[in-house]
Amino acid sequence: MSEFPFRFGVNEFTTQPWSYEEDIARYAALGVEAIEICEAKLDPQDAVRQMRMAKEAGLAISAVQPRIRTFFGSKMTPQPEAVEARVNAFASSLKTLAPHAEGAAFVMNTGAPVQGNMQRCLDETVHYLRRLSPLAADLGVTLAVEPLNPTSINAETAIWTVDQALDLLDAVGHKACGLCLDYWNIWQQPECEAAIRRAGSRIFVVQASDWRTPLSAMDRLIPGSGIIPLGGLLQATWEAGFRGVCTLEIFSSDVPDSLYKQDLHEVIRLSREGLGRAWHDHQEKIAG
């Protein structure tokens, strides 16, 4: 099993300098198989036509990042402040985009706990996910809860490990609510590979990049150029039963060597090669 086992996708945050239309055309030309759409790149007056463009270009829509994807405020999207308004905005994204993204997962996380009250944040997140999961199921999509790196605690999230996310999913108790597994966010948790295997069929989204000690809040690397043990994480994900898209998600702002200032075609090409090499090298390692 040396061939890379997952379809290769790209999240639009990876190509921040490109327009939505450029993303579609250039991903397709590069042989990318799936796109993770960022609603912030869509024109609200033309979103339906734009969503259709992806399919017309031969790109599967594996996931969607809604414009408002946290129920509590976050550093990335602080407005609106009211929780109910944010939940309504998320529901609106579902109703607008889901009919054109059948089978996709809508990615979300908790947001920042108000005054550090994590328990309240978790309780209310469960409450609203119980409300929205049936809506997602009716629309033919799913919800994917993403634990974020500890660097984001109290700025973007109240959960930072796979197991915390699984506890939240257990509390929600709906099959349309699963896990977004971003290796950059979770690779440092203890016994990470075992946690991935425990997640099993609840893994709906997989995202990859690589790690150095961050120089900013938006500092990720091309897979294979950092220190994340990607081969083992990919193997654990395969053993968990995931057979979907492995999506490249890179942020690269406020750093002197920003990937956004480099040739993004090369960033995508090198990232795909890096993931394939990580998988291949791990297969050789376990084969002895």
> What is 161-222 written as a DSSP string?
SHHHHHHHHHHH--TTEEEEEEHHHHTTSTTHHHHHHHHGGGEEEEEE-B--S-SSSSB-B-
Q: Match 């908790």 to its residue by tokens.
A: 110
Q: Match 């349309």 to its residue by tokens.
A: 176
Q: How many residues does the chain have?
A: 288
Sign, CA torsion 256/261/266/272: positive
In the prediction, which pLDDT does 30 show?
98
User: Tell me, what amino acid is at 111?
Assistant: G
What's the CA gap between 165 and 128, in Å, rounded? 15
User: What is residue 153's DSSP assignment?
Assistant: B
Domain boundaries defined on the chain: 7-287
Q: What token pair was written down for 77?
A: 């999207």
In the prediction, which pLDDT does 2 show?
67
What's the CA gap between 209 and 222, in Å, rounded? 6
In the prediction, which pLDDT does 78 show?
95
123: CB partners within 8 A, 6+ apart: none
264: CB partners within 8 A, 6+ apart: 14, 15, 17, 18, 26
176: CB partners within 8 A, 6+ apart: 133, 134, 136, 137, 141, 142, 143
Phi, psi of 63 (to 5 degrees): -160, 165
Q: What token pair was written down for 20?
A: 């939505």
What's the CA gap between 288 and 284, in Å, rounded? 6
Q: Which of the residues in the chain have pLDDT under 50?
A: 1
- Secondary structure (3-state) at 149: coil
CATH of 7-287, one of 1.10.10.10, 3.20.20.150, 3.40.50.720, 1.10.3730.10: 3.20.20.150
Q: Cα torsion for 202, 206, 211, 216, to the nearest 10°?
A: -90
In the prediction, which pLDDT does 288 show?
83
> What is 87-100 written as a DSSP string?
HHHHHHHHHHHGGG
